[in-house]
Structure 1
Amino acid sequence: MQTITRTEDLAAFCDRAKAAPYVTVDTEFLRERTYYSKLCLVQLAIPGEEEGDAVLVDPLEEGLSLDPLVALFRDTSVVKVFHAARQDLEIFCVDYGVIPEPLFDTQVAAMVCGFGEQVGYETLVKRIARASLDKSSRFTDWSRRPLTDAQKTYALADVTHLRKIYEFLEKKLRDTGRHRWVAEELAQLTDPETYVTRPAEAWRRVKTRNTSPRFLAVVRELARFREAYAQERNVPRSRVYKDDALLELAATKPASHSDLGRSRLLLREARRGDIAEGILAAVKQAQELPKEELPEVQEGRDKAQVNPALADLLRVLLKARTESSGVAPKLVAPSAELDAIASGERDVAALKGWRRELFGADALRLCDGQIALAAKGSKIDVIEL
């Protein structure tokens, strides 16, 4: 198992990869103790069974530059193949300013090809590569050196089996004419904005049932401070304070250090120093905001607006369309979108792109009374009206 520790060796492998039709890529990283992922290992493989066709790259090795890999990622003549690429892409986008292009994500392709929702790599290895994986090294500390042989074997398997999986799925997409479907799904993954976390928007991830604008304003300012603090110091946001503590603070609205001392959920470290000062300043700022600057409450869909019978018919239509195409129903239209369509909404993903071709166009026709559904044994037929 070759582990690359010198820039010139990485450049030599990347030069070989530029002559190949594709390169499979995976990473191992740590994020438990930091805000940003710490890249600990990169695995690469090109087509072939010879020694050196699959390598490990050690980014923790002093003096090793990943510039040759960045150049390979920018070479559009070579397809970069990942499985469940989002976290890998975030690392390369944030740390190196590059998103591999063109990109192929085998998890996305597998969902389009009928392997179910959020299908795991181990499942594809078993079903396509006819092999098994030893997952015992999955949760090891990838920042420690030297790596064990078990770690190296595990890491390489994540790109060697990926070659067969990619070739199988790529052929299936070609045979079914669904390459464009995958391209639409990958658009968000390849958008750099996907990997930008703005402190001002961090509050939208905090789940609460309290829709009071003033309460939400405190949540917003506390979440903004926490995100900015975590980013600046590269620590997990939960190390600043967790969501339950944030919501407690938004409810109690502490105005002094003694108020913070009465919190049940706030970490001891957050009751003093910069974090304590940040909390008090955030609460004070939210309390002083004029009414027009308070967050707008997102009104939920009124259940009375949803036609339950129509929603049920849409579910039947979806089941019929996805069974015949082999695509996971939730990939096409989750339950909330079906209810949205039944309530009259039209700006939903299920009515756009490849989803519209597969399901959305008929869904609109069903809503407009242009078609009906009929059961014929175990099959659902669409009847023109």
Structure 2
Amino acid sequence: MDTEFVRERTYFPQLALVQIVIDDDIALIDAAKPEVAALLKPMLEDPGILKIMHSCSEDLQAFKAGCRSVPSPVFDTQIAAALCGLGAGLSYLKLVEQLCGVTLEKGETRSDWLQRPLTESQRHYAADDVRFLMPIYAQLQERLAALGREAWLQADCARASAAAAEERPDANPHLSIRSNQPLDAEAQIRLRRLLLWRDARAIERDKPKRWIIDNDAAFALARAPIARIEDLDAILSRYPKSPKSARQHLFALLEKPIDAEERRIPLAGEPDAAQKARLKALQQAVAAKAAELGVPDGLLCSRKHLEYLLDTGEWPPVLAGWRRELLAGSFAPILATA
């Protein structure tokens, strides 16, 4: 399976096309038709049908938005390839070339998939996106079985489907903006307020978050306390696409006193020398284990998850299961010094 969707002017992806291959038959399904979602839903949710997809995280979101359903169980060929030691983040084109010896064209990557009728070139491109998934799956499944890593892939794919189905907004979006590190605690709290408001407004209006307020404008508003609405207007005037119609609401949002709950939120900051040393030691442990397994470091454990582990003392959910089993022993002496 694969999808084509459009997300340039909306918060939620607009599902335009669903490609399905069964045996030697390829179906291109017009997902813009209202009756299609109900027809696809039973197959998407059938636990007895394995859905083979490539790099499926955005496709899962598209299915959730377009069909109110998330495919499960899923076999993600990109993750499977990485677990087999073929490389990190391989594109479908690279994987087809590597495993099937076929070079595909990229021509319609930026195509308008909501237009009707589709062009012959679009139809050919869309069909190619699923044409080789079955032979790729067969090869990867055999390799995973030989390595004893089938359960690893099943766990990762199940977590991806669950995350798409849950669709929970980030409670601390300020942590993902790297440029906020120089901000003091109160400025980070103000930034978090702005970003939470932005997320809620983007969802409500189904508009891209950057259309509500971009990161630079939010950062400028949060940097220092704003005592007068004229000061807020002066900042907004430097950003032509800033939400001037929401000026009163933004002023009230920034002016509100900080409460005790907000003072307990996690904050971004520059780690001290000891914390940097521990992070480096954890990264070296990850690299050593990844080299032993023949998998990419980032697939095994990312820097972000190591930082979370050091900051909170808790293993993040993504590291539960097989990753924790592999890493806990080498992490233990490093974490003991924290």
Structure 1 position 39 matched with structure 2 position 19 = no
Alpha-carbon distance change, 268 to 215 in structure 1, aligned in 2, over 3 angstroms: same
Residue number in structure 2 paired with 1:73 = 44
Which secondary structure does the structure 1 equivalent of 2:159 belong to? Answer: coil
Deviation by residue 1:272-317 (Cα, 9 ceiling, x = unmatched): x2x22331221122xx2335543534366432256579929x73x6
Distance 1:198 1:365 in 2: 35
Distance 2:228 2:309 in 1: 49
Any residues of structure 2 matched to 1:46-125 within 5 Å, and which? 46-48=22-24, 53-61=25-33, 64-125=35-96
Contact 1:333 1:349 in 2 (8 A): no
Structure 1 position 302 matched with structure 2 position 272 = yes
- How far is the alpha carbon of 1:356 from its aligned partner? 4.7
2:321 pairs, out of 353, 373, 377, with: 353
Alpha-carbon distance change, 84 to 340 in structure 1, aligned in 2, over 3 angstroms: closer
The two structures have a TM-score, normalised by structure 2, of 0.85
Any residues of structure 2 matched to 1:189-204 within 5 Å, and which? 189-192=160-163, 195-198=166-169, 201-204=172-175
- How far is the alpha carbon of 1:253 from its aligned partner? 4.4
Alpha-carbon distance change, 65 to 360 in structure 1, aligned in 2, over 3 angstroms: same
Deviation by residue 1:315-370 (Cα, 9 ceiling, x = unmatched): 3x655543443212332234577799999x673689753335555435658999xx
Q: Give the aligned residue type for 1:151.
A: Q
Alpha-carbon distance change, 151 to 357 in structure 1, aligned in 2, over 3 angstroms: same
Distance 1:303 1:90 in 2: 40
Distance 2:226 2:183 in 1: 20
Gapped regions of structure 2 (runs ≥ 5): none
Distance 1:212 1:78 in 2: 51
Distance 1:253 1:43 in 2: 51
Distance 1:216 1:267 in 2: 24
- How far is the alpha carbon of 1:102 from its aligned partner? 1.4
Gapped regions of structure 1 (runs ≥ 5): 1-24, 369-385
Distance 1:259 1:337 in 2: 38
Contact 1:255 1:283 in 2 (8 A): no
- How far is the alpha carbon of 1:249 from its aligned partner? 0.9
Any residues of structure 2 matched to 1:217-256 within 5 Å, and which? 217-254=189-226
Which secondary structure does the structure 2 equivalent of 1:191 belong to? Answer: helix
Alpha-carbon distance change, 179 to 152 in structure 1, aligned in 2, over 3 angstroms: same
- How far is the alpha carbon of 1:198 from its aligned partner? 2.9
2:281 pairs, out of 303, 307, 311, with: 311
Q: Give the aligned residue type for 2:3.
A: T
Alpha-carbon distance change, 234 to 339 in structure 1, aligned in 2, over 3 angstroms: closer
Structure 1 position 145 matched with structure 2 position 113 = no
Runs of 4+ in structure 1 over 6 Å off: 336-343, 348-351, 365-368
Q: Which one scores higher on RCO, CA 8 angstroms, separation ≥ 6? A: 2
Contact 1:351 1:361 in 2 (8 A): no
Alpha-carbon distance change, 268 to 346 in structure 1, aligned in 2, over 3 angstroms: closer
1:329 pairs, out of 287, 297, 306, with: 297
User: How many pairs align?
Assistant: 333
Supply the RMSD in Å over aligned alpha carbons.
Answer: 3.3
Q: Give the aligned residue type for 2:273.
A: K
Higher radius of gyration, 1 or 2: 1
Deviation by residue 1:254-276 (Cα, 9 ceiling, x = unmatched): 455533432254335622x2x22
2:258 pairs, out of 289, 295, 304, with: 289
Structure 1 position 266 matched with structure 2 position 239 = yes
Normalized per residue, which structure has more helix?
2
Which secondary structure does the structure 1 equivalent of 2:47 belong to? Answer: coil
Which secondary structure does the structure 1 equivalent of 2:27 belong to? Answer: strand
The two structures have a TM-score, normalised by structure 1, of 0.75
State, as a whole percentage, how many aligned pairs show the same letter: 29
Alpha-carbon distance change, 342 to 43 in structure 1, aligned in 2, over 3 angstroms: closer
- How far is the alpha carbon of 1:131 from its aligned partner? 0.8
- How far is the alpha carbon of 1:212 from its aligned partner? 2.4
Deviation by residue 1:44-66 (Cα, 9 ceiling, x = unmatched): 11122xxxx101011224x5332
Distance 1:157 1:81 in 2: 14
